Structure 1
């Protein structure tokens, strides 16, 4: 793909990303290691951009670009909604990590991160681990979530979703706990698996699905009492919790939903913004993903601002208060929860002091 073709993918978009206003997109290639990556910095008005690195076998560069643009924009919203002094960024490495991932490739990727001089801090995401971040950290200091840092953020993300469910359950059913609720968790990896444990410990009934047999086997070894289904989305439950890849909520799948509440860890759960109205028309409460799943960002972002472990735990727990406020406003005004959350984000971004391109603080 030529430079002109790459530019066209960015500047001639006709989808919602065409007006997203990304500050910087960096195409990274290291032929010696096979590295092909994209780093997208969406907005740094509130602080340096922070977002994980996703290592995934995208079908095309166009698909990878769309994903990283959406994910980085989501990180801006996530940080702003959580009240953090951070901006939104994300990176994707194109390829199958089981085939392509090597220490040399991760070192090369770290050098690209370092070249941004602190405008972007990276962390783990789908296809990357804290051990990978340890290798990346040998090439750059702009990395969080390593084993020497706060470690894997999966539990914090799960705990934040768990607390968001509490707020939704209180407003929907008047319940102060999730005991007796039925929950379908889609994706039982490093976030979904923790969420299942939290739900079971509080007495919820849990159904799970995952396309990977090994993930299901690991979960059943630890939690043999869960129900396994081919698909979680159409399960007859109170809460549907998408915790895998995004885009599962489409006009077609919304029609299949039997849950009353949607609250999960996946990013970009809606295929596009129109799906939020479809959910509301069916009487389904959607907890905006970038609010519910901010726990991991709060944890690793706490490294940058030197928050203590207890401060981070308290910050993650307060996701429940944020969700409660958003859903209360939505119910009172008839607006969509996503619109209320977006207004909070825009107000905080508008009030931010402009930062110079090279600033890290």
Structure 2
């Protein structure tokens, strides 16, 4: 099947395939839109069931990065890389070959850590190309943007709770977290410190044990989405919200770190019918890319903490527009993102008047 006829193709500027016989690397880099600057986005490694599944993922993820970066007010475009394979089988040769692949694009794409990759992997990539971020030894977490992603989700959750439940704090709420990896674990800690009752699931026993040590209750992954909770926070892989799972949800709010949480955009309409508010993932989880951009472009003088806190205000504008115009929050977020791309990040007078 041609990439051009793929349902997820959205006038992407570049979709580049690469195979390195020596290392066994099979990877795809997609650049969706570079009007705001060179594309930046994470490098994901996953044992995709097929090449088509990998193509679908990289197309959707790179589009999401365009929207995410624009909503975060960053002068960078949207791109993404996926590596087809098991992260546990990756070697130094894998990351070196990936660095060569990134380098071959001459700076049009800047890579970073994502699901299935790590700071150490980025450091190996950085030995072959300068077009990588999240490797700064002077950053608070040695380059790891995950804590910043979690912090952004935390601020977004507070705003979403204000809109959905009419309260300005999270204390006393129950949050179910799907996935206690780097971001989910940090989010768990922030929520528990805020007086939230947290439960969740992760098939990785080490991740589950880490969350349990923080005070979270661990439940069966198959039961998680069927349990009553105030907020469901997906923090693992995407496309977990579909007709079947939405029908089982017992919550009034979905707000989490995972990318592409909706299997298809129309799933949000099903959430609306059930009076479940959806906080668009690309508006919620931009804390990490804000951190990564700051590391890559220190001369941009980004105030990371301040810009992460701004996620709340951006999300408030999205919810206001959606409510005033009777559209989904996802549609409102895309509209705002496209306005920022088309106008070169010039602050819009108001999304409500757009």
Distance 1:211 1:283 in 2: 29
> Residue 308 of structure 1: CA displacement?
8.4
What are the superposed Cα offsets for residues 70-105 of structure 1, whole Å, 9 maximum, x if unpaired?
111110010111111111100011111212x11122
Q: 1:149·1:303 contact (CA, 8 Å) conserved in 2?
A: no
2:288 aligned residue = 296
| Residues 179 and 310 (structure 1), Cα distance of their counterparts in 2 relative to 1, 3 Å cut | farther
2:2 aligned residue = 9
Q: 1:130·1:147 contact (CA, 8 Å) conserved in 2?
A: no
Q: Does 1:259 align with 2:246?
A: no
> Residue 332 of structure 1: CA displacement?
2.5
- The one of 91, 95, 100 aligned to 2:85: 95
Task: Count matched residues.
Answer: 341
> Residue 290 of structure 1: CA displacement?
0.2
With normalisation by structure 2, the TM-score equals 0.93
Structure 1 residue runs of 4 or more that deviate by more than 6 Å after TM superposition: 307-310
Distance 2:68 2:224 in 1: 25
Where does structure 2 lack aligned partners over 5 or more consecutive residues? 346-354
- The one of 21, 24, 28 aligned to 2:18: 28
1:228 aligned residue = 219
Distance 1:235 1:9 in 2: 41
Where does structure 1 lack aligned partners over 5 or more consecutive residues? 1-7, 354-361
Matches within 5 A, 1:62-81: 62-81=52-71
Distance 1:324 1:54 in 2: 30
> Residue 61 of structure 1: CA displacement?
1.1
- The one of 22, 45, 49 aligned to 2:35: 45
What are the superposed Cα offsets for residues 295-336 of structure 1, whole Å, 9 maximum, x if unpaired?
101100112331689810110111111111211222222211
2:162 aligned residue = 170
SS where residue 23 of structure 2 aligns? coil
> Residue 147 of structure 1: CA displacement?
4.4
2:133 aligned residue = 144
Moved more, 297-306 or 229-238: 229-238
Q: 1:131·1:147 contact (CA, 8 Å) conserved in 2?
A: no
Distance 2:220 2:188 in 1: 14
Distance 1:309 1:202 in 2: 30
> Residue 148 of structure 1: CA displacement?
2.9
- The one of 98, 118, 121 aligned to 1:109: 98
> Residue 229 of structure 1: CA displacement?
3.7
- The one of 196, 204, 211 aligned to 1:204: 196
> Residue 218 of structure 1: CA displacement?
2.1
Distance 1:347 1:219 in 2: 39
Q: 2:29·2:81 contact (CA, 8 Å) conserved in 1?
A: yes
| Residues 333 and 11 (structure 1), Cα distance of their counterparts in 2 relative to 1, 3 Å cut | closer
> Residue 152 of structure 1: CA displacement?
0.7
